[in-house]
Structure 1
Amino acid sequence: MEFFRYKNQLKPEKGRLLISEPFLPDPNFERTVVLLCEHNEEGSFGFVINKPSILKVSEVMEDIKKLEDIVYVGGPVQQDTLHFLHRNTSLEGAVKIWNEVYWGGDFETLISQIDITVIQSKDIRFYLGYSGWGPGQLNAELEEDSWIVCDYATDELLFDTEPSMMWKKALDSMGGRFSIYSNYPVDPRMN
């Protein structure tokens, strides 16, 4: 059906969101929002920003005792690695993703800044693993309409929005038929 063709007008790039289409059959990415941290001819990677795990930061990293926040599942690749996105402009080695949002940086400094509350829990998110695509793989998935590219990567969405509302909020931000998609039930038989 032509109605369900997304015809992505935006191209994937660093700082944009990938929103899974409403009926994506892959359970790893059902109702998922991925923040792209890199996209080039060598491939793409980012973090699922709306899938909390059952673990707390302090349970994953003994050095971080002050954060009782949940760790997120960043994706199915290398789930034995811990990554972080934050709003700290002074963390050495951090990679700017967009505006005041950064990925990674010097971990020892991060721990010190958490201890003295330079970085607060509202300004950082931790992710186990990441989402990755090899050369051309993401573009092929876009051609299959598995993802909708969105330019609504805001600090508020990443740090202040309830994870269960991110998928809907990102689609709503696009307006038109995407707002309609945001209201689709997970199981259409329940409509």
Structure 2
Amino acid sequence: MDYFHSKQKFTPERGDVLISEPYLPDPNFERTVVLICEHDENGTFGYVLNKPSSALLEDVVDQISDFKEKLFIGGPVQQDTLHFIHRAPEAMPSGQLIGNDIYWGGDYDQLLSMIDLKQLRPEDFRFFLGYSGWAAGQLEEELEAKSWIVYKGISASHIFDIDENSLWKEVLKSLGGKFKMFANYPADPNMN
């Protein structure tokens, strides 16, 4: 199915991802994959999955030491806030299911305890500074302008097992067809 140019409108839902078009001019979202955690009449909220920061979790949380997991830039909004997603409902049962074995948040004190007791499997968690947000109707306008491709049914393995540096390309390739071609577009169109 042609997700990008179809006449059918694909409204994003919780658990979908937005894939930026190859030449989106916004530096906050250049070649990004954004996991949608909420989308309703009030707007949209999610996290950029493939934009690592230079900071580690232990750099920003005083109660954590000897935990060398990197933080990701979840988006340009409130980058002084910490968020997380995971695929470990048995370890963090208070998280909210957002789709396909992907959970959002959970008990923060339990998280700190799990890290302290070395019970947390880092490969099952991803931590973010800030988030991505759109006001009511804003994302729909961007979808009309073809700034984003809506991908339904992303798997937890895409998010947690694929290296963030190749995630944008790999997700496009998994859509097949012309999206494989999009995945190989150079970052600078003048290089084409």
Both structures adopt the same fold (TM-score exceeding 0.5): yes
- Equivalent residue number for residue 122 of structure 1: 123
How far the C-alpha of 1:65 sits from its partner, in A, is 1.8
Query: Residue 139 and residue 105 in structure 1: after superposition, are their counterparts in 2 closer, same or farther (change >3 A)?
Result: same
- Deviation track 1:152-190 (CA, whole Å, cap 9, x = no partner) reads 421111111111101001111111011110110000212
Which runs of structure 2 are paired with 1:161-172 in the superposition (5 Å)?
A: 161-172=162-173
- Equivalent residue number for residue 16 of structure 2: 16
Query: Residue 134 and residue 148 in structure 1: after superposition, are their counterparts in 2 closer, same or farther (change >3 A)?
Result: same
After the TM superposition, which parts of structure 1 deviate over 4 Å for at least 4 consecutive aligned residues?
4-9
SS in 1 for 2:165: helix
1:109 aligned to 2:130? Answer: no
- Deviation track 1:6-35 (CA, whole Å, cap 9, x = no partner) reads 656532000001000001011111001000
1:45 aligned to 2:29? Answer: no
Q: Which amino acid aligns with 1:162?
A: D
Q: Which amino acid aligns with 1:132?
A: G
Given that 1:15 and 1:97 are in contact with CA atoms closer than 8 Å, whether structure 2 keeps it comes out as yes
How far the C-alpha of 1:114 sits from its partner, in A, is 2.0
Given that 1:6 and 1:145 are in contact with CA atoms closer than 8 Å, whether structure 2 keeps it comes out as no
- Deviation track 1:108-166 (CA, whole Å, cap 9, x = no partner) reads 01111222233211111100000001111111110000100012421111111111101
Task: Give distance in 1, aligned partners of 2:42 and 2:114.
Answer: 34
Which runs of structure 2 are paired with 1:45-84 in the superposition (5 Å)?
A: 45-84=45-84
Q: Normalised by the size of structure 2, how large is the TM-score?
A: 0.92
Percent sequence identity over aligned pairs? 51
SS in 2 for 1:28: coil
Task: Give distance in 1, aligned partners of 2:119 and 2:103.
Answer: 15
Task: Give distance in 2, aligned partners of 1:164 and 1:83.
Answer: 21
Query: Residue 67 and residue 152 in structure 1: after superposition, are their counterparts in 2 closer, same or farther (change >3 A)?
Result: farther
Given that 1:51 and 1:74 are in contact with CA atoms closer than 8 Å, whether structure 2 keeps it comes out as yes
Gaps of 5+ in 2: none
Given that 1:66 and 1:114 are in contact with CA atoms closer than 8 Å, whether structure 2 keeps it comes out as no
Task: Give distance in 2, aligned partners of 1:153 and 1:92.
Answer: 21
Q: CA RMSD in A?
A: 1.6
Gaps of 5+ in 1: none
Task: Give distance in 2, aligned partners of 1:85 and 1:16.
Answer: 14
Q: Normalised by the size of structure 1, how large is the TM-score?
A: 0.93
SS in 2 for 1:19: strand
* Higher share in helix: 1
- Deviation track 1:73-127 (CA, whole Å, cap 9, x = no partner) reads 0000000000001122142431111132211111001111222233211111100
Q: Which amino acid aligns with 1:184?
A: Y
- Deviation track 1:22-53 (CA, whole Å, cap 9, x = no partner) reads 01011111001000001111111000000000
Given that 2:19 and 2:168 are in contact with CA atoms closer than 8 Å, whether structure 1 keeps it comes out as yes
Residues matched between the structures, number = 188
